[in-house]
Amino acid sequence: MGTQEIDKGTVRRIYALGAALGIKGGGHDDGLHALVRGVTGKENVKALTPAEAREVEQELKRRFARQARHDGEKKPKKKARQYEELPGGPSAGQQRYVWYLMQQIETFDPPKDGVALRYRLCGMVEKMFGVTAFPEQPMRFITARQCGSLIEALKPMAERAELRYLHSPENLRKLEAKIRAE
- Which tens digits make up the pLDDT trace of 27-36? 666 778 888 8
Burial of residue 85 (CB within 10 Å: 0-12, 13-18, 19+) is: middle
Report the percent of the chain where pLDDT is more than 70. Answer: 90
CB atoms within 10 A of CB 90: 25
Domain edges within the chain: 8-72, 92-181
Cα-atom radius of gyration of the chain, to the nearest Å? 30
Amino acid making up residue 165: Y
Residues in the chain: 182
Q: To 10 degrees, what angle do helices 31-40 and 8-21 make?
A: 120
pLDDT tens string 118-141: 888 888 899 999 988 888 888 888
CA angle in degrees (0–180, nearest 5) for 119-120-122: 60
The Cα 6–Cα 13 span in angstroms is: 11
Helix (H) or strand (E) holding 52: helix 50-72
pTM exceeds 0.85: no
Per-residue pLDDT of 62-79, as tens digits, reads 877 777 766 666 666 777
| Distance between CA atoms of residues 130 and 142, nearest Å | 10
| pLDDT at res. 145 | 93
Give the CA diameter of the chain.
Answer: 89
Sign of the torsion formed by the C-alpha atoms of 159, 162, 167 and 168: positive
Residue 71: its pLDDT value, please? 64
Of the ranges 43-52, 109-118, 125-134, which one carries the lowest mean pLDDT score? 109-118
Question: What's the pLDDT band for 103 if we cut at 50, 70, 90?
Answer: confident
Is there a contact between 137 and 86 (Cβ–Cβ < 8 Å)?
Answer: no
Answer whether residue 2 shows pLDDT above 60: no
Under a CB-based contact definition with an 8 Å cutoff, are residues 103 and 114 in contact?
no
Indicate the pLDDT class of residue 1, thresholds 50, 70 and 90.
very low
